[in-house]
Structure formats: C-alpha cells, structure tokens
Amino acid sequence: MYPLKFKPILKERLWGGTKLNEVFGKPCTSEITGESWELSTVKGDVSVIANGYLADTTLQELIEKFPNEILGKSVVQRFGTEFPILIKFIDAKQDLSIQLHPNDQLAKERHDSFGKTEMWYIMDADPGAELIVGFNRDVSRVEYEESLKNDSLLELLNYEKVVEGDTFFINTGKIHAIGAGVLLAEIQQTSDVTYRVFDFNRRDKDGNLRELHTDLALDAIDYERKNDFKVDYSKESNSVNTMVECPYFKTNYLNLTESMVQDTLNRDSFTIFMCVDGEAAIENEFGKVNLRRGETTLVPGITEKITINTNGAKLLEVTI
C-alpha cells in the first residue's frame, strides 16, 4: 500500500503540441499530444501501476481487490469501487473547442456516467494566452441558438488572460475552452462526456469537421453570466492552502520550502499529489516515491502518515 505511480496515458489531439514531452518528459511519439491522463479508470483508459511490486496491475484491479484500503471507507460508501477522480495534464498548442459538460443527472440519464465538474491550475502560459470561461453577459437560449446559426458565438463569450498559478473552477453547464499556449493540470470527476458546440470550423487530418453536440448541449448549458470561476487562494509557504472544496473533490495548494508531515489517520480518503513545480519525495509507512514537475502519485487511503521531503516543491493535493 505504498504511494503509487502510473504509466501516463497519452492522447493525440488536433490541438495538442509537444510540451508534455519537452517540459515534463512524457514518452510522447506524436507532435500533437494534447493530454496525459495520469490517473484514470475510464473504460478503455485504465491506469496501470508503474512502480513497486504491484507494477503492471491496473488501478481498477487493485481497487476491486482492496477497496477500503485504496479508496477509504467513506469513499467506498459513496462510489463503491468506482474511482471518482480523473487527473490530467493538458498542452494546448491551439485553442480547444468551445464546450461544456452535463451535470450528474443528465450524464446518468444519457450516458450512464458521472457529470464532469473540473478545475484547472495553470502551470505555464505563453504571453497573452487566454481561457474562455462562461458568457460575458446573461444570454437567452434563443440568442445562443441564433449565434450558432450566424457564426457569432465568440462575441458572447468571456475571455480571461492567464499566468502561472491562476486557478479556475468549471462547474457543469459552464461553456468554456482552453486557449492556445496554455499548459495546465486538470482535476475532474471521472467522466469523458463533453458537449462540443463550436470548433472554429477546423478539419482533422482526414479533412473532416469534428462532431458537434449542438442539440445535447441546449438543455445542459447555464446561460447566466456568473463570476464564480476564478479561484482566490492563499499561497502561504509550508501550509495547507485550500483551493477548491466541492462535493466531488477537495484540492489544496502546498508551496513547500521544507519538509512536511501530515497525520492522515482520520482522513478516510486516498490522497493524490500532482507536482506542479520542483521536486519532492512522498512517503508513507509502506514506501516512498519521488516526484518531479509533471508527475503524480496516489497515496492509498489506509495511510496513517504522509511525509513530504523537499527543499522546494509546489504540489496540488487532492482528496475526497
């Protein structure tokens, strides 16, 4: 039950680039690698353990065998043996499509899936890089449909310039897109359900337009302008700084200049660490792993104490 590392699941994307390899050292073989799935139990894309005696076992196999020990009893009570979190690093060389995600109810009815609430932590951004998050004013459904017909949707959207450290919470229904030149860490519910509504009329390598989900999106969109997406959080050194706390995950920011010990006896949840800068060694009573920028570990829920040894690291800590 030592801290687990996993083989990255690399995804070619029309909008992807080369930073996942150049910056993080991911074993990419394509010049359009857009995503590295670090922790996943999405069907067809289940993470495989890379370290220790459990190497080559899948995360799902381990959870099925040791649910309480890996997830924590309270997590099992809520989700059974389904791992509720999907962890990614994303490199957007080009703009992503304009999209949104359905809530739990719609996702369950239509796709037998969780909804997709997510958050982004900006790890790097080219000068002037932007995100699209929400509308720039309240919009009616009729107005939105008209904008699709006359190709003016972009005029209704809210643009946010970003720099390293900026953090955004994207609740279900919020229209959004990652802009060109952004490298980020993404934490989300376990779901691969996306409604794409506009893709800049781009064509794939075979000359085809990508599928849009216009009709599915109509009753999933939140048409109100809401200023609820930019996360204001403390960056105090050597403290646990809460970033996001929602029903699906809790994320803390650890800006460490020295080692830290955490008592996790009563946490009753697995703990994920994403290293977004520097290096650290993550240790529990069963073993340890070394993390550098762009790497992730899962510490099993049975852990009673976590020691983070570092001279300098910025970590995102995710629990349920």
Neighbours of 122 (CB within 10 A): 20
Contact criterion met (CB below 8 Å) for 21 and 64: no
CB neighbour class for 244 (10 Å; exposed up to 12, middle 13-18, buried from 19): buried
Contact criterion met (CB below 8 Å) for 172 and 228: no
d(CA 83, CA 120): 20
Catalytic annotation present for 196: yes
Contact criterion met (CB below 8 Å) for 186 and 89: yes
Which residue, 280, 289, 288, is CA-closest to 311?
280
Contact criterion met (CB below 8 Å) for 107 and 115: yes
Which residue, 120, 234, 133, is CA-closest to 177?
133
Amino acid at 53: Y
What sign has the CA pseudo-torsion 266, 267, 269, 270? negative
User: DSSP labels for 197-219?
Assistant: EE-TT-B-TTSPBPP--HHHHHT
Q: Which is catalytic among the residues 13, 196, 267, 293? A: 196
Rg (CA), the chain: 19
Task: Show binding-site residues.
Answer: 101, 118, 176
Task: Show binding-site residues for Zn(2+).
Answer: 101, 118, 176
Number of C-alpha atoms within 13 angstroms, CB side, residue 262? 19
Kindly report the three-state secondary structure assignment for every residue of 220-277. CCCCCCCCCCECCCCCCECCCEEEEECCCCEEEEEEECCCEEEECCCCCCCEEEEEEE
Measuring CA to CA, how many Å separate 173 from each of 50, 84, 105, 307? 35, 19, 12, 38
Q: Which residues are known to be catalytic?
A: 196
